[in-house]
Copies of this chain bind each other. A is one copy, B any other.
Amino acid sequence: MFTPRTPRIAAARKLHRRRDRDDTRRFLAEGPQAVAEALGAPGTVIELFGTPEALHRYAVLGRAATDAGIPVSEVDDEALTVLAETVQPQGIVALCHQADVSLDDALGRGPRLVAALAEIRDPGNAGTVLRTADAAGAGAVVFAGDAVDPYNGKCVRATAGSLFHVDVVRGPGPVEVVKAAQAAGLTVLAATGYGEDDLDGLADSGALATRTMWIFGSEAHGLSADVLSAADHRVKAPMYGRAESLNLAAAAAVCLYASARALRQS
């Protein structure tokens, strides 16, 4: 049974810090859902840690790991608490390789829908948008510029497993990302409350039925003038009531689903 002082546990706990994640290109995914999704992405999981109770309860996960040649290590409750970030960890944590791909590689696979996050710092927001992008059928999610680390624990949890479903790109700055997407044949739509195009209008005209990258800025700062002018269209979600705007998660859901629906019909 591993304890907090076991060298492998001591090394893994350091992955709560971004610097150590960046240096080692590793991260931790906690809880049965994230572990199951990680195990479903070949070559991702390095080692599975669990308490005896959790490894009994989620025996299917331990078996999947063993079948894939991944070591499964029993840890005591204290070691598990050290590895997990949540207050009520569910007893199981996977040590994973970071698996992001380059922007060129992601665009080279010809995705029909891409979501880019420009300098989004909030890990919960970023993870939620990634999950929504996956649900809408996006092939890639780009973290552009000085963005949150996609392997931040809170971001990983907010993706609810979608981190392991899409191509994750830690991109260059937002303007470069826009230009690369355009060079790859994607129409770039910038989501902004001040857009000259209305989402419903684009949907009605059929303009959404094309390979698209949406780019979203933070709620506090929006997108920079450079990004807005580099994009093909600046698009606002319609405001039917008296709210001034949607929050990031809601705006991304409305925009990405409008594209998904148009692409499905095309």
Contacts and interface: CB of A to CB of B under 8 A. Distances in A.
A249 interface: yes
Interface in A1-24: none
Interface string A235-265: 0011111111111011111100100110010
A249 B249 CA distance: 7
A11 to B, nearest CB: 31
A237 B260 CA distance: 12
Interface stretch (A54-62, A78-86, A132-140, A173-181): A132-140
Interface size class on chain A is 35 or more
B247 A131 contact: yes
Highest count of chain B CB atoms <10 Å: which of A135, A160, A200? A135
Contacts of A261: 200, 203, 238
Nearest to A247: B128
B200 A241 contact: no
A131 B250 contact: yes
A51 interface: no
Given A237-B135, A249-B249, A243 B162 contact: yes
Contact of A250 (B238, B250, B260): B250
Highest count of chain B CB atoms <10 Å: which of A250, A252, A264? A250
A234 interface: no
Contacts of A245: 135, 160
A251 to B, nearest CB: 8
A153 interface: no
A165 interface: yes
A166 interface: yes
B200 A243 contact: no
A135 B200 contact: no
A246 B131 contact: yes
A241 B128 contact: no
Contacts of A242: 134, 162, 165
A250 B247 contact: no
Contacts of A253: 246, 249-251, 253-254
A259 B58 CA distance: 40
A200 to B, nearest CB: 6
A217 interface: no
Interface in A201-245: 203, 237-245
11 contacts: A131-B243, A131-B247, A131-B250, A132-B246, A135-B237, A135-B245, A135-B246, A160-B245, A161-B244, A249-B253, A250-B253
